[in-house]
Structure 1
Amino acid sequence: MNVPARSDESATPPAAMLFMLSTYVFFTFLDTSSKYLVLAGVSALIVAWARFTVHVLLVGVFLRGWREPSRFRANNLSAHILRGGLLFGSTMCNVMALKTLQLAETTSIYFFGPMVITALAGPLLGEWAGWRRWLAILSGFVGVLVITRPGVGVFGVGHLFALGSMLSNSFYVIMTRRMSASETSESLILFSALAPAVLLLPMLPFSHGLPQDGWHWFILVMLGVFGAGGHWLLVQAYRLATTTALAPYPYSQMVWMILSGWIIFHQFPDRWTLVGAAIIVASGLYIIHREHRLRLRNRTTVDAEAEALAKKL
């Protein structure tokens, strides 16, 4: 009796799980530190610039760019600048949102991003979603409405910045997908931070609110460490496991954000934020599940056609 081979599609190595969980701990530290600094009076421009500049320096050191500079060559510089500008916009909007919103609120709205990407992937990438995924997208949007509650005195400027951050990041991800076929991974990592750092330079003289003590300067430097470290951990995770297997792990950040907001800022999300977050997370997980099933179905169809062709031959 032949036992069918078990697919390792969903088998995630423990090391990959640890890398992914650690990634979003680092990203939680990044947002928590950013919120701490802007609440302490440090300019959002300085916070964003430090985050990207330290990131660039760390990438250059750890990837040893001086040995093989060709790895960092940009084939399409204008696309890199546009992509970096989108990340700059996402980061600036996020920092501004953190001034007034809780960490859990900004994260919940940010989690609607994958659904926006799914919707935009049709016209921009030719990856059209079916009605089930569109239903999940609409459900996720309901979750955003539950959190922001426009028309009942809750919706504010912070929510606008959070939505702007999410939208900008969605276009950033789509551009990354399009550019990954023609650009090296090293160039994508480098220019994603270099372009915003350069774009921010002319604005720094007009910014107000420098760090007031050594502790604030230390946190400012650590922003880049958290950002670069998080991206490094993410790369390590994807080297060990498939994208499908790792797709649900970003939602673990919600736990870290709630804990961080509670411990550092003594803020705990209200029930409507928790309900909205649950709707968004459930919708996102359904889209992941649906895309996984479609991928398996397509693979099965291809295998069946190949087997039928082999029998004819």
Structure 2
Amino acid sequence: MRDNLKGAALMMGAMATFTMNDAALKWLATDLPAFQVTFLRGCAATVLIVALSAAMGSLRRGIPRADRPWAIGRSAAEAGAFLPFLLALQHMPLANITAILAALPLSITAAGALFLGEPVGWRRWTAIAVGFIGVLLIMRPGTEGFDGWSLVAMLTVLLATLRDLLTRRLSRETPSLNVAAITAGFVTLLGLGLSLTEPWIRPDAAQAGMILAAAAFILGAYLCSVMAMRVGEVAVVTPFRYTSLVWALLLGWLVFGDWPRPLTLVGAALIAGTGLYTLWRETRVPMPRPVAPR
């Protein structure tokens, strides 16, 4: 499988597990404080990632000295993007902030072209734009709620873009599991600090099981997202972030009983269509032939 197809598959896996993690957190947040759940999930996820890294031998390899600043910077950007997202979420409608975050594929693709010199043709730009139209059809954001907190939400977009650009700087010698472990540690520490501002509630057996499930989901999400941004071209891999909205529709229907409206289904079809088109074009473009030795 060529790198672009690998990156697309990994990005779809990341979006699926991120959305499953979000659904688990939404279910837990009805009875437990959100920051407490974030911290407990982070503890379990960090243990799982470190154990998996040790079992696969990645832990012994560590992170090369030249890659350590990029790994730490990426993890700090991941944790940093989490805080303005929560702040904005408390002061503006969910549809509005989700629509703002849907600018990520555009911002990451543009940043990859500007700062990494990656080629972005008109077909890829068109596919990204069509996918964004699908996002707007799903979210249908109104003008109400777009105020100063919208700028806070945009900070999340900027930090998430920085996170993915820093991920691209990592060499192939750095194990993705180790990067995921550092990221989980940063987010867990942030959750611990924020959880001290709210009362704690002891989870029951069902809630504890869901926290462990969320930890498993976030493990897969961190690992897939790191690996996705290390293979393939940004312009090909990034549009598959839109698939998280399709997963959100399915989980909203199956878990929470939210039946999507017709325009929502049209938007989901546009998103799926752009993804399928990108995959189809990638299979039609010939792979570069290796240069014969002289």
Q: What is the TM-score of this pair, normalised by structure 2?
A: 0.70
Q: Which one-letter code corresponds to 1:179 in the other structure?
A: L
Structure 1 position 217 matched with structure 2 position 199: no
The CA deviation string for residues 26-85 of structure 1, in whole angstroms up to 9 with x for no partner, is 4443121011122x1433322322332211101222222797754234635443333113
Cα offset for 1:197? 1.7
Structure 1 position 139 matched with structure 2 position 123: no
Which structure has the larger Rg over C-alpha atoms? 1
Query: Which residue in the other structure is 1:4 paired with?
Result: none
Structure 1 position 59 matched with structure 2 position 49: yes
Is the contact made by 1:143 and 1:280 (CA closer than 8 Å) also made in structure 2? yes
Structure 1 position 49 matched with structure 2 position 39: yes
Q: 1:169 to 1:21 in 2, by over 3 A?
A: closer
Cα offset for 1:162? 7.8
Q: 1:213 to 1:57 in 2, by over 3 A?
A: same
Partners of 2:179 and 2:151 lie apart in 1 by 28
Is the contact made by 2:50 and 2:59 (CA closer than 8 Å) also made in structure 1? no
Q: Which one-letter code corresponds to 1:72 in the other structure?
A: G
**Which of the numbers 47, 57, 72 marks the counterpart of 2:62?**
72
Cα offset for 1:282? 3.1
Q: How does 1:12-91 map to 2 (within 5 A)?
A: 26-38=17-29, 40-64=30-54, 69-73=59-63, 75=65, 76-91=67-82
Match of 1:176, SS?
helix
Q: 1:88 to 1:41 in 2, by over 3 A?
A: farther
Partners of 2:137 and 2:188 lie apart in 1 by 35
Q: 1:210 to 1:23 in 2, by over 3 A?
A: same
Deviates more, 1:62-71 or 1:135-144: 62-71
Partners of 2:149 and 2:249 lie apart in 1 by 18
Is the contact made by 1:72 and 1:190 (CA closer than 8 Å) also made in structure 2? no
Superposition RMSD in Å: 4.6
Deviates more, 1:209-218 or 1:132-141: 209-218
Percentage of pairs with the same residue: 28
Partners of 1:126 and 1:151 lie apart in 2 by 36
Match of 1:145, SS?
helix
**Which of the numbers 248, 266, 269 marks the counterpart of 2:260?**
269
Query: Which residue in the other structure is 2:273 paired with?
Result: 282
Q: 1:22 to 1:84 in 2, by over 3 A?
A: closer
Q: Which one-letter code corresponds to 2:52 in the other structure?
A: F
Partners of 1:249 and 1:140 lie apart in 2 by 9
Structure 1 position 120 matched with structure 2 position 115: no
Match of 1:172, SS?
helix
Partners of 2:75 and 2:64 lie apart in 1 by 13
Partners of 1:206 and 1:287 lie apart in 2 by 45
Q: What is the TM-score of this pair, normalised by structure 1?
A: 0.66
Partners of 2:135 and 2:187 lie apart in 1 by 28
Partners of 1:211 and 1:100 lie apart in 2 by 30
Question: Which residues of structure 1 form unaligned runs of 5+?
Answer: 1-7
Is the contact made by 1:94 and 1:161 (CA closer than 8 Å) also made in structure 2? no
Query: Which residue in the other structure is 2:168 paired with?
Result: 177
Is the contact made by 1:148 and 1:159 (CA closer than 8 Å) also made in structure 2? no
Partners of 2:151 and 2:201 lie apart in 1 by 26
Query: Which residue in the other structure is 1:5 paired with?
Result: none
Query: Which residue in the other structure is 2:197 paired with?
Result: 206
Question: Which residues of structure 2 form unaligned runs of 5+?
Answer: none
Q: 1:177 to 1:170 in 2, by over 3 A?
A: same
Partners of 1:88 and 1:110 lie apart in 2 by 16
Is the contact made by 2:58 and 2:175 (CA closer than 8 Å) also made in structure 1? no
Is the contact made by 1:112 and 1:144 (CA closer than 8 Å) also made in structure 2? no
Q: Which one-letter code corresponds to 1:266 in the other structure?
A: G
Q: 1:22 to 1:133 in 2, by over 3 A?
A: closer
Match of 1:268, SS?
coil
Partners of 2:31 and 2:144 lie apart in 1 by 26
